[in-house]
Chains A and B, each alone.
Chain A
Amino acid sequence: MTTTTTHTPTPGALARIFAVVRLHFVNKGQIIVVPWLIMSFIFAVTLIIGWILRTSLSAKDLSEAGSGMQYSGAIGYFLVYMLVIAVMAISQTFPFAQSYSATRRDFYLGTIVAFAILSLVYSAAVTVLGWIEDFTNGWGLGVVLFSPGYLSPNLVERFYEAFVLFLFFFMMGIAVASVYVRWRVNGMLIFFASLALVILGLVALATVSSSWGAVGAWFVAMGFFGVVSWTLVPTALAAIVGFLLLRRATPRA
């Protein structure tokens, strides 16, 4: 017995990152099937409601109901779902990837690539469905689900808005879950307490300096497109913070 099991040469960084990407997608039920099943259900319910409204309401009431729907929107549901799977990716897939001997760096980069891909796919889907919705005048029933009023009417801009929002929610999920993986419950308590204090501080600052008017004006000036673009700053910060936290995290039982 002079030979031991062969040590294989290290695969390149790209191959290792790609392995992590595939790991995120290996259980398609979680990441693709379940959200679209729920979405289909919401879609069906929305269509039924739209049909009921159409058959029972006057034209005037109908237009009011339609404007009320402008602010629901499927994208909100998807965004929350993305936040949840981002949290699960860090709290569950991270310890599992460690058991597969993946480095934290490869895991983190693979996770970001996987979620960027997912964001692209979901934004494209939401954009296309929104376009169909506009084209068919609300699936023939005046229903608003994929094309809420706050999104840009321009399809390219709308795709960009959805994509950036998906990224934002993903990265927030990743950063918050990284706090948990690194410092557990105590970390979460301190994190949310600090977050509350920061928000309170900002509110107090705006109130004391009586600059609410200016804040409001800024949001109006930016518009939805501008505000969405500004989320790229916290998104990038969350990506950096998440990495710094995870780099020293230990998977625990």
Chain B
Amino acid sequence: MDDSRPIFIQIAEQIESDILRGTLPEESQVPSTNEYAAFYRINPATAGKGVNVLIDSGILYKKRGIGMFVAEGSRARIIAARREQFHAEFVTPLVAEARSLGIGQAELTDMIRKEGNS
């Protein structure tokens, strides 16, 4: 847990990453709020808040009296969201910085290609 961001957001991201990596397959049951609290040694209310973020966004859903499950199609939705995030967090500033340094589009694409090959 890092100190700069709310823990519940970090918990939500952690669960998303587990879904991305396949540790939590779609339609599988997710550990309970209390299990998350115990595992990460955090307040159960905070863990609950993180889980609720994912329930609100439809990544997880509740089965009454049984527990929480990964929604179908949530992996694809997480990938889509993370791609968008990737664009905003990395590509946009990258292009802006390149422009300010006078790096043309062709040159930038070339740099990225070389980076990808290495």
Contact = CB atoms under 8 A, between A and B. Distances in A.
Interface of A: 1
A1 B48 CA distance: 9
B43 to A, nearest CB: 11
Contacts of B44: 1
3 contacts: A1-B44, A1-B45, A1-B48
A28 B44 CA distance: 43
A1 B44 CA distance: 9
Contacts of A1: 44-45, 48
A50 B48 CA distance: 80
Contacts of B45: 1
A25 B41 CA distance: 41
B4 to A, nearest CB: 27
A1 B45 CA distance: 8
Nearest to B48: A1
A1 B43 CA distance: 12
B37 to A, nearest CB: 11
Interface in B28-50: 44-45, 48
B8 to A, nearest CB: 15
A38 B44 CA distance: 56
A1 B37 CA distance: 13
B65 to A, nearest CB: 14
Top 3 A-B pairs, shortest CB-CB distance: A1-B44, A1-B48, A1-B45
B48 to A, nearest CB: 7
B45 to A, nearest CB: 7
A145 B97 CA distance: 103
A120 to B, nearest CB: 53
A111 B48 CA distance: 48
A5 to B, nearest CB: 14
B11 to A, nearest CB: 16
Nearest to B44: A1
A76 to B, nearest CB: 61
Nearest to B33: A1
A8 B1 CA distance: 38
Contacts of B48: 1
A118 B115 CA distance: 89
A101 B85 CA distance: 55
Interface string B41-61: 000110010000000000000
A116 to B, nearest CB: 49
A69 B79 CA distance: 100
